[in-house]
Structure formats: structure tokens, C-alpha cells
Amino acid sequence: MIPATYPDRDTMARLTARMLLDIKAVHFNATEPFVFSSGFRAPTYIDCRKLISYPRIRSTLMDFLTCTVLRQAGFEAFDNIAGGETAGIPFAALVAERMALPMSYVRKKAKGHGRNARIEGEMTPGQRVLLVEDLTTDGGSKISFVEAIRETGAECGHTAVIFYYDIFPETEPRLAEAGVRLHHLCTWWDVLAEARAGGDFDEATLSGVERFLKSPHDWSA
């Protein structure tokens, strides 16, 4: 069922941040930084996959995400909801259910056997597809998924995520250049503000995180 009412954007951002903190999906550690596959080092880590194990939070956030997309893109803007392998798949299914639309998913790369397809489920030329993922950092994986969708002849000009890092200024221009608009619920700045308000971490940790958020590349180096 499509949610009919929802809070304003700032309230949704704050509540999303609080839910992520409550289930301990947020990790801060400045003394032993997290290292990403690219070699990038950060004192922050977010695990949105944990959300699927919390039904009340999961349901609320999927209502928020559906309403955000409908408000920003339009109520009749899409024909298909696609999830990115693997973290985006459950969230795409939940959004598709709320919007009463078909659901498909996009592989990171072709299987290498069988149909050798990147798209699973039915996607047809001309369909307007919403790509749903758990999060985005620099937008690179989103563009790869969008390209796979467009190769079917379908259109994809929107992607929706629960969490957006919002610390790399090139992300949204990069997506815009690829013809993709980003919709999200909350960012690291929302999480930092809510963690301060709720006393979830000591101030020394939060100050270290803030230094990273203001200058991530310098901090990593």
C-alpha cells in the first residue's frame, strides 16, 4: 500500500539517523580506521543491511523512501523498480510492493553462463525504471547499474537510497552528468547531529568524525 502521509524531509532524515544508531548500524572508530576496497581509510562505517532484520524500522524506512521518491519524482513516474546486487534487492522488493510495480534486479556483472544476463526479472524497452540501493558513496556503482538497465532499452533517470555519504562534492554532479537524479533519506551529517543530540558516542570520537567529514581525502591520507 502506498503511504498517504509522511513527515517533512528534515524529520525523516533525523528519524532515519536515529533508527540507524539504535540498531548499531553506525560505526565510528578514529583510532583503527575502516579500510575500503579502494584503499580509502575512514573512521566511519554504515551497515544498512542490518535493517532487513528489524521489521518495524524496515517498514518505516521503506515508507519514508517510497514517499520521498513519489514527492520528488512524481506519483506516476515509474513502471519498474530495480534493485542493485546484492544490498539493494530487498529494499527494491519492499518499495515495489508499496508502489504496486514490477520488480527486477541488476547484477554487478554478467553471470558468465546461461543467458549471461545482468538483469534478472522482466524489464522491457521503454519502461521507466527506478534503481533502489542501500547507500551511495561516490555514485560509481549506481552508474554501472543504470548503464545495464539502459542496455535493455529501458529508461533510468532516478536512483533512491537510504543513506548518502554527502561528503564527496563530485558525487551528485557525476550522477547528473549520467542523467541520474539521486533521492535519499539521510547523510553522515544527519547521523553526526543525531549522535551528538543523543549522546551515542563521546565528544572526542564525534569531533574526529567531523574532521573526516569536512575533509575526507586529507583525513584518509
Domains in the chain, number: 1
Average pLDDT of every residue of the chain: 94
**4 vs 8, higher pLDDT:** 8
Half-sphere exposure of 81 (CA within 13 A, CB side): 25
**5 vs 147, higher pLDDT:** 147
Query: CA–CA separation, 164 vs 23, rounded Å?
Result: 18
| CATH code of the domain covering residue 53 | 3.40.50.2020
The reply to whether 2 falls in a domain is no
The reply to whether 134 falls in a domain is yes
Three-state secondary structure of the chain:
CCCCCCCCHHHHHHHHHHHHHHCCCEEECCCCCEECCCCCEECEEECHHHHHHCHHHHHHHHHHHHHHHHHHHCCCCCCEEEEECCCHHHHHHHHHHHHCCCEEEECCCCCCCCCCCCEECCCCCCCEEEEEEEEECCCHHHHHHHHHHHCCCCEEEEEEEEEECCCCCCHHHHHHHCCCEEEEEEEHHHHHHHHHHHCCCCHHHHHHHHHHHHCHHHHHC
Answer yes or no: pTM beyond 0.85. yes
pLDDT on residue 116: 65
- Average pLDDT rounded to a whole number, residues 52-64: 97
Q: For 88-125, how does the pLDDT look when each residue is reduced to its tens digit (9 = 90+)?
A: 999 999 999 999 999 999 999 877 665 668 999 999 99
Query: CA–CA separation, 218 vs 37, rounded Å?
Result: 18
Q: What is the percentage of the chain residues whose pLDDT exceeds 90? A: 88
The reply to whether 29 falls in a domain is yes
pLDDT band at 221 (very low <50, low <70, confident <90, very high): confident
The reply to whether 1 falls in a domain is no
pLDDT on residue 4: 64
pLDDT at 2 over 90: no
Per the structure, the complete domain to which residue 59 belongs is given by 9-220
The reply to whether 191 falls in a domain is yes
Q: Give the CA angle between residues 97, 87, 16 to the nearest 5°.
A: 75
pLDDT on residue 3: 65
The reply to whether 183 falls in a domain is yes
pLDDT at 5 over 90: no
pLDDT band at 30 (very low <50, low <70, confident <90, very high): confident
Q: What is the percentage of the chain residues whose pLDDT exceeds 70? A: 95
Q: Give the CA angle between residues 151, 137, 97 to the nearest 5°.
A: 60
Cell 563521546 sits on residue: 202
pLDDT on residue 112: 61
The reply to whether 3 falls in a domain is no
The reply to whether 133 falls in a domain is yes
